[in-house]
Amino acid sequence: MSPSENVPGNSSSALRGTRAVPDGDPAVPGARVPAGTPSNRSGRPELVRPEQGRLLGGVATGLAAHLGTGTLAVRAVLVALAVLGGSGIVLYLWLWALVPDGATGTAWAGEMGRRPGVRPVDSSEEAGKAGSAGKAGSTGNAGVGRGVPGASRSRDILLGLLLLLMGLVFLGLRAGWGDLPGLFPLLVVGCGAIIAFSQLDEVERSRLTTRTGTGTRSAVLRVAAGAALVVIGAVLLAVQGSGVVQAARILVAVLAVLAGLGLVLTPWGVRMWRSLDAERAALARQTARADIAAHLHDSVLQTLALIQKQSGDPTAVARLARAQERELREYLYGPPDLPQATLAKEVRSAAAQIEDLHGVAVDVVVVGDRDLDERGAALVAALREAMLNAVRHAGAPVQVYAECGPDRVEAFVRDRGPGFDLDAVPPDRLGVRRSIIGRMQRYGGTACVRTAPGEGTEVRLELPGARTVEPRESAGRGNGTDSSDRPDSSDRPDSSDRPDTGDRTPSSGSEDG
Amino acid sequence: MTVRIVLVDDHGMFRSGVRAELAADPTIEVVGQAGDVDSAVAAVAEHRPDVVLLDVHLPGGLTRPGGREVLQRCAECLTAQPPVRFLALSVSDASEDVIAVIRAGARGYVTKTISGPDLARAIHRVHQGDAVFSPRLAGFVLDAFGAGTGEVAAVDDELDRLSSREREVMRLIARGYAYKEVAKELFISVKTVETHVSAVLRKLQLSNRYELTRWAADRRLL
């Protein structure tokens, strides 16, 4: 959408037929240059009805682009042909029916991403595009400038005008001036056709984008109304000048024929519809498959290749495998990405980092979740320290459990290492005291370490839930270490006697020597 | 008395790995193997093993997860005398799938990263009719019953909530404690721990809280 991408010189290219957008940037008119489109075999744009710059069905615009002449000239010729015997109208309708819509024909892939599907969004989006194109679009070429902002709206207005004209002619006929015997029914037929055709475009487009099949109901309704108008017009044409009874007879005959046709064609139509549906489903499956394949290629296959290269190093292989397993699991079963950081997410990613760094498996179980605030971040930082100690000194298995309750957050890190005698730790080892215990206390929480030789180690962190608690500059309230069996009997082992700066750098953390 | 087991997993390599690990335990005999839903049902019917090691995700069958379908189609084995007991084994993290298999009748859930001796212990435990909860399953259970948010049953046999003792046991298991350690921690016997765990399993299988709360979606934020 950046204006710098809108090269003024390219604005006229928006007029050209194709809407294929190979580089997938829908917002830039310049991107519509049919650079690599499949249409360029003969050096001229494919004959399609472009979305932009159309007044009715886009036939004239497309034709002009195809022939390399001005849109105005084509329109003039068409109008002239229409006035001189009406062949212009027939030609226009014929082309409208047969020339593919530029929106759906070639620019399939771009279309899917670009169109939210419903019409109001569509036109506003188009207006947005015109806005972003800025002056390049509106002044550069009359066709674009006029057509883009409200191509569909102007078409509606035109339709309204046509209907108004028809009404006038009808009034005129009633008033008795001029005898234009065939004109009225023809007008009805024409209007019906226009409504039906323009709506067919809509239906086709919305079908491709919404994938719900039928598009909007109103579009279908309008197609039906258009068809009805055509039929009425045709009947009027046929019954001209005959009596009421004969007219009714003809009407009945027409309806009978229509009903018969419907009877014959409906099963065929339904079958077509179904096969189309199946095709669409297959395409969706294919897309999903391609997505998965792309993901596997970027992740699993790369890791497998790495593992083959490093097959001599079991630690590296285990680390790679573990990291890949976690990543894949996250992809397959992970909760949808939440926009904001949460405590559970932070705990998991901290554990994942440590796993990757040290090649030791860290199993994480998190119950509940909450938004990550400053204190939560402090808890995660302390938890990270505790995990680091566990993988450094004990090795697998390391079990992390975090529970976010309404009134407190608790976290545990347990390892099955040799354990140690807390009293024997020299006072200058600051890993546990500053990074874990001191940090927790500054944020109003507690931390305690349970360990005994041969029993492994468990670090317990707790933050009370009241979020209004201010971080405290307090430390040194501890009164000795605790290595008893009860976790809650004495929660405050030695804490640091100096205020910690709350750094996240891994500390020495080798208290168990 | 040896425990006869059938191994159900769609990866041949994983099956042979488990076989090799279990070979270290002479009291466990692998009598059959299967790689998909249909062959699993057939193998269970043919061998009538004591324990089935059942992968949660299996190819074949009509419903997902495949492990649940195996259990549903073997429903009469679960209550027969002697019963066939199932232990779910998976790498899957999808709590819905794991809980679905437990609710269909499996007596426990362990992850595939479990060590050989631990797996052997779990098999024996399941064979004796006890439940096997890994830390991960304990976490799922705490989440499912809203125990993380402090909901506790007023009476022990309330189906939709855990009693405070059960919650305590689940929390310790989630923290990585073995049953023995849980018992020591809470000053109760291992048998009592097993009773609590079995009670939780029963609640998990009978409660309709799981359907009511759709916790998997709702549990994200308090």
- The pLDDT of residue A401: 92
Q: Do A405 and B113 touch (CB under 8 A)?
A: no
Residue A471 has pLDDT above 80, yes or no: no
Helix, strand or coil for residue A255?
helix
Contact yes or no for B105/B131 (Cβ under 8 A): no
Percent of chain A's residues with pLDDT above 70: 55
What strands, in cross-sheet order, belong to the sheet with A446-451? A362-367, A398-404, A408-415, A457-464, A446-451
With left for phi above 0 and alpha for psi between -120 and 50, is residue A178 left, alpha or beta?
left
The CATH code of the domain at B1-129 is 3.40.50.2300
- Mutation for testing the B interface, residue in A355, A365, A414 having most B CBs under 10 Å: A365
- The pLDDT of residue B86: 92
The pLDDT-based confidence of A353 (bands split at 50, 70, 90) is confident
The one-character DSSP state at A298 is I
Compute the distance between CA of residue A249 and CA of residue A116 in angstroms, rounded to an integer.
48
Q: Measured between CB atoms, does B187 come within 8 Å of chain A?
A: no
The pLDDT-based confidence of A358 (bands split at 50, 70, 90) is confident
Amino acid letter for position A40: N
Over residues A459-478, mean pLDDT: 55
- Stronger pLDDT, A509 or A237, i.e. the higher one: A237
Strand-strand pairing, A457-464 and A446-451: antiparallel
The CATH code of the domain at A341-513 is 3.30.565.10
- E strand or H helix at A508, and its extent? none
Q: Measured between CB atoms, does A331 come within 8 Å of chain B?
A: no
B150: CB partners within 8 A, 6+ apart: A405, A406, A407
- Stronger pLDDT, B60 or A20, i.e. the higher one: B60
Average pLDDT score over chain B: 83
Over residues A215-229, mean pLDDT: 71
CATH number for B131-222 (one of 3.90.110.10, 1.10.10.10, 3.40.50.10490, 3.90.1640.10): it is 1.10.10.10
Amino acid letter for position A344: A
Percent of chain A's residues with pLDDT above 90: 1
Q: How many CB pairs under 8 A join A and B?
A: 76
- The pLDDT of residue A125: 39
Over residues A96-125, mean pLDDT: 47
- Stronger pLDDT, A359 or B147, i.e. the higher one: A359
Over residues A196-200, mean pLDDT: 64
Which tokens sit at B199? 């009670």
- The pLDDT of residue A85: 67
Q: Do B150 and A407 touch (CB under 8 A)?
A: yes
- The pLDDT of residue A406: 73
- The pLDDT of residue A23: 41
- Stronger pLDDT, A476 or A227, i.e. the higher one: A227
Reference B218, options A377, A317, B210; nearest CA is B210
Distance of CA A80 to the CA centre of its chain: 47
Per-residue model confidence as pLDDT tens digits over B107-160: 989 888 788 888 999 999 999 888 888 888 888 888 888 766 666 666 666 677
Compute the distance between CA of residue B117 and CA of residue A512 in angstroms, rounded to an integer.
29
Over residues A279-307, mean pLDDT: 82
- Stronger pLDDT, B145 or A127, i.e. the higher one: B145
Q: Picking from A28-32, A410-414, B155-159, which range would have the lowest pLDDT averaged per residue? A: A28-32
The helix/strand count (H/E) of chain B reads as 12, 6
Residue A262 has pLDDT above 70, yes or no: yes
Per-residue model confidence as pLDDT tens digits over A314-325: 888 888 888 888
Helix, strand or coil for residue B145?
coil
Compute the distance between CA of residue A115 and CA of residue A253 in angstroms, rounded to an integer.
44
Q: Measured between CB atoms, does A483 come within 8 Å of chain B?
A: no
Over residues B48-52, mean pLDDT: 91
Q: Partners of B108 in the beta sheet?
A: B132
- The pLDDT of residue A182: 59
Strand-strand pairing, B51-55 and B85-90: parallel
Which residues belong to CATH 3.30.565.10 in chain A?
341-513
The angle at the Cα of A30, spanning A27 to A36, to the nearest 5 degrees, equals 105
For tokens 């390219």, name the residue: A10
Contact yes or no for B168/B186 (Cβ under 8 A): yes
Q: Measured between CB atoms, does A363 come within 8 Å of chain B?
A: yes
Q: Measured between CB atoms, does A370 come within 8 Å of chain B?
A: yes
- From the list A329, A361, A365, the residue facing B139 with the nearest CB is A365
Q: Do A403 and B142 touch (CB under 8 A)?
A: yes
Compute the distance between CA of residue B110 and CA of residue B79 in angstroms, rounded to an integer.
22
Amino acid letter for position A365: V
Contact yes or no for B201/A440 (Cβ under 8 A): no
The pLDDT-based confidence of A400 (bands split at 50, 70, 90) is very high
Burial of residue A320 (number of CB atoms within 10 Å: 0-12, 13-18, 19+): buried
Compute the distance between CA of residue A147 and CA of residue A51 in angstroms, rounded to an integer.
9
The top-scoring range by mean pLDDT among A221-235, A239-253, B183-197 is B183-197
Over residues B6-27, mean pLDDT: 88
Reference A493, options A453, A434, A443, A444; nearest CA is A434
Residue A191 has pLDDT above 80, yes or no: no
Amino acid letter for position A236: L
With left for phi above 0 and alpha for psi between -120 and 50, is residue A318 left, alpha or beta?
alpha
Which residues belong to CATH 1.10.10.10 in chain B?
131-222
Reference A447, options A481, A484, A471, A415; nearest CA is A481
Task: For A321-361, give the DSSP string.
Answer: HHHHHHHHHHHHHPPPPPSS-BHHHHHHHHHHHHHHHH---
Which tokens sit at B82? 């002697």
Residue A344 has pLDDT above 60, yes or no: yes
- The pLDDT of residue B144: 80
Task: For A105-146, give the DSSP string.
Answer: HT-HHHHHHH--SSHHHHHHHHHHHHHHHTHHHHHH-HHHHH
- Mutation for testing the B interface, residue in A304, A338, A345, A367 having most B CBs under 10 Å: A367
Task: Write the ipTM.
Answer: 0.83
Which residues belong to CATH 3.40.50.2300 in chain B?
1-129
Report the Cα–Cα distance between both ends of chain B, in Å, rounded. 49
Per-residue model confidence as pLDDT tens digits over A433-442: 777 888 888 8
Average pLDDT score over chain A: 66
- The pLDDT of residue A199: 60
Report the Cα–Cα distance between both ends of chain A, in Å, rounded. 60
- The pLDDT of residue B204: 84
Cα–Cα separations (whole angstroms), residue B208 to B144, B149, B165: 11, 18, 21
The pLDDT-based confidence of A101 (bands split at 50, 70, 90) is confident
Compute the distance between CA of residue A490 and CA of residue A481 in angstroms, rounded to an integer.
8
